[in-house]
Amino acid sequence: MKILSAEFIKSCYQAEQFPRVRLPEIAFVGRSNVGKSSLINSLLNRKSLAKVSRTPGKTQAINFYKVEAGGPRTPAFYVVDLPGYGFAKVSKSVRAEWGPMIAGYLTDRKELRGVVFLVDARGLGWQDRGALRWLRDLELRTVVVTTKVDKLRRSERTEKAASIREGLGISAEDQMVPYSSVTREGRDSVLKALERMLGET
Ligand code: GTP
Ligand code: MG
């Protein structure tokens, strides 16, 4: 899949604001500061389409980006950048903390074709496992991406990857993509995964 162009469409704070023009959607999910917005920028070849910040909790709205990919069956789709979980100090469940809008989006959105689920390559946060299980229970197609691999030494990679796989319950056959928005490692694999989820293998 080639990215021809990408543009910001809108920031939504409630479901009524979601785009009226319907296109297939891919959502990016993961805890605050894991690198969702950075991954979106590097994937779409844009320096600052999605706002990146050192401070967790930067993305508070559901942001829609329209991507032209020029494929025969999926010429265009939306990339959907969701606010991270794990930011609010008190949290009883993924659903309660994430807020009804995000839970509602993931539960009800007909256009949602799949979720890119991001975890930090250096190790899981305590909510990651529950969040992924929740997405799987919704029967959403997911691809797991480990972010910031540039921060790991080569020698640490295998061991960290194995413990993340085990922690998330990802079988050996299932794909887990190491990613760095700094070196762009993993970009082609993520694009392939999007293509598959959008039904264009
Ligand atoms: P929220 O919007 O708060 O949920 O965060 P986010 O998941 O969108 O994270 P964001 O992309 O804003 O990145 C958070 C911080 O991590 C920023 O300081 C980024 O520069 C840094 N970062 C993101 N991806 C990478 C990466 O692949 N490698 C390195 N070294 N740093 C990264
Ligand atoms: Mg963000």
Summarize pLDDT for 68-86 with one digit per residue, the tens: 997 777 789 999 999 887 6
Neighbouring CB atoms inside 10 A of 108's CB total 10
61 Cα to the center of ligand 2, angstroms: 9
Apex CA 182: angle with CA 180 and CA 186, to 5°? 30
Alpha helices in the chain (DSSP H): 36-43, 94-98, 100-108, 128-137, 154-168, 187-197
10 Å Cβ neighbour count for 17?
Answer: 14
* Sequence-distant (≥ 6) Cβ neighbours of residue 162 within 8 angstroms: none
Q: What is the pLDDT of residue 61?
A: 84
Q: What is the pLDDT of residues 95-119, one digit of tens each?
A: 555 677 888 899 999 999 999 999 9
**CA-nearest residue, atom 24 of ligand 1:** 35
**Token representation of residue 110:** 């007909």
pLDDT of residue 59: 65
Contacts of 91 (CB under 8 A, 6+ apart): 85, 97, 127
Query: pTM of the entire structure?
Result: 0.92
Pocket residues: Cβ below 6 A from ligand 1 = 30, 32-38, 52-54, 56-59, 83-84, 147-148, 150-151, 180-182
Helix, strand, coil share of the chain (percent; to 5): 30, 25, 45
User: 93 near 99, Cβ under 8 Å?
Assistant: no
CA 72–ligand 2 middle distance (angstroms): 30
Cα–Cα dist 168/2, whole Å: 30
Q: How many angstroms separate the alpha carbon of residue 57 from the centre of ligand 2?
A: 7
Which tokens in the block code for residue 129? Answer: 């496992």
Q: pLDDT of the chain along its 201 residues, tens only?
A: 889 999 999 999 888 999 999 999 999 999 989 999 999 999 999 988 988 877 766 667 899 999 999 777 778 999 999 988 765 543 455 555 567 788 889 999 999 999 999 999 999 998 899 999 999 999 999 999 999 999 999 999 999 999 999 999 999 889 999 999 999 999 999 999 999 999 865
